[in-house]
Amino acid sequence: MDLETFRWLLTESGQQLLAEAGQTSDPEGRQLRRTYTGEQVAAALTQAELRTKAQGKFGDFATGMYFTHDALEQATRLSVSRHRAARVQAAGLETVIDLGCGIGGDLIAFALAGLTAAGIDLDPLRVEMAQANLAAAGVGGATMVADATTINLDPFDVAFADPARRTARGRAFTPDDWQPSWDFITKLFARDAVVKTAPGIDHGLIPEGVEAEWVSEGGEVKEAALWSGRLASVRRRATVIGDSGLATLTDEDEHTEEVRDLGRCLYEPDGAVIRAGLVGAVAAGVGGGLVDAKIAYVTSDESFRTPFAKSYLIKEEVPYREKQLRAALRVRGIGRLTIKKRGIAITPEELRKRLDLKGDNEATLVLTRVQGQGTALLVAPF
């Protein structure tokens, strides 16, 4: 969609078309094309499709927002961006500039937290979408087309950046290919700033004095956020956002990662905990230890519910070798099997086919290494 078509969508006629596009059952919009141009109908149908997809990230706000395919894919889930905004607000800071605001998802979160937010982007279409999305969310904020590397940041308390990690060649796997560049990002850390990065960022890239926070939502690691200046309070942090709220671990909770014999229970640490290198803190929290020095599974004789790990009762150990494992599952009448693995070079879907499961029972199988030995465990969540 070009800028002219987007501006037309904001008119009364455009809004009428958007309403009709959201209700039509014809994916081609044949009836709509009798009244509107093909380009207008295509743009409206695309928005209807993207608004439906965006509900997982933006909830009810999505029904009035505007997107492009790429911008929606890159946008942060609102629950995660609101957590980030809440940290800025809790630090007593008041103004934020978003250096690459895209369609404005983070701007909405900052504004909802009571912060004064402004956003810039090189793409005129995304800038105008961001302004429209702020209006759709019922919050204030300013946007403009500008180059982040040329802006005077002094008037703002906090600089926020979410570097583009895609180039014309596809996904950018090294910070040198990010836009803005890693060199520009590191200069931001001389002030109060927060930078969203990929969860797989190399720990060695994180400058001294910068806090790295890995955030997961619904059991999936969403981002690593780098905090500097007054916003940094620890070296490493894992934050887990779930249905019951938010929980966080830091390197101040860190304990030695000791290996122990297999206990009654098995704990699968959240991905954010693993990325932050805080598995030992989970082990200490459940009174246990690691099953193996190189495997991020924790075992304990005690049963705990923790937001930082999935908890399982170990029902029994079964044969690890495939032929004997198949026989053991047959004897137990297991026809539906969830396979979890860690530190083992198998593909669960392929193994499940080879096991040729038969029976009415359901089970969860964990394949891993326990003190260096391949081990198969039938477990039950609690």
Q: Is the pLDDT of residue 170 over 70?
A: no
How confident is residue 257, by pLDDT bands cut at 50, 70 and 90? confident
> pLDDT, tens digit, for every residue of 223-248?
999 999 999 999 999 999 998 899 99
Instruction: Kindly report the average pLDDT of the chain as a whole number.
Output: 95
Q: Give the list of residues 6+ apart from residue 250 with CB closer than 8 angstroms, or none.
A: 233, 234, 235, 236, 237, 238, 278
pLDDT attached to residue 176? 78
Q: Residue 368: left (phi > 0), alpha (psi -120 to 50), or beta?
A: beta
How confident is residue 172, by pLDDT bands cut at 50, 70 and 90? low
- Is the backbone peptide bond immediately before 180 cis, with ω within 30 degrees of 0? yes
Q: For residue 46, which of 28, 61, 31, 33 has the smallest C-alpha distance?
A: 28
Q: Please tell me the distance from the alpha carbon of residue 103 to that of residue 94, in angstroms, as a whole number.
A: 22
pLDDT attached to residue 169? 60
Fold of 72-248: Rossmann fold (3.40.50)
Q: For residue 178, which of 205, 146, 215 has the smallest C-alpha distance?
A: 205
Tell me the whole-structure pTM to 2 decimals. 0.92
> pLDDT, tens digit, for every residue of 24-44?
988 889 999 999 999 999 999
Q: Is the pLDDT of residue 168 over 70?
A: no
> pLDDT, tens digit, for every residue of 283-337?
999 999 999 999 999 999 999 999 999 999 999 999 999 999 999 999 999 999 9
> pLDDT, tens digit, for every residue of 50-95?
999 999 999 999 999 999 999 999 999 999 999 999 999 999 999 9
Q: Is the pLDDT of residue 137 over 90?
A: yes
Q: How many CB atoms lie within 10 A of CB 260?
A: 15
pLDDT attached to residue 316? 97
DSSP state string for 307-328: TTEEEEEEEEEE--SHHHHHHH
How confident is residue 173, by pLDDT bands cut at 50, 70 and 90? low
More confident residue, 113 or 25: 113
pLDDT attached to residue 175? 79
* Beta sheet of 116-121, edge-to-edge order: 142-145, 116-121, 95-99, 158-161, 193-197, 220-228, 211-217, 236-242, 245-250
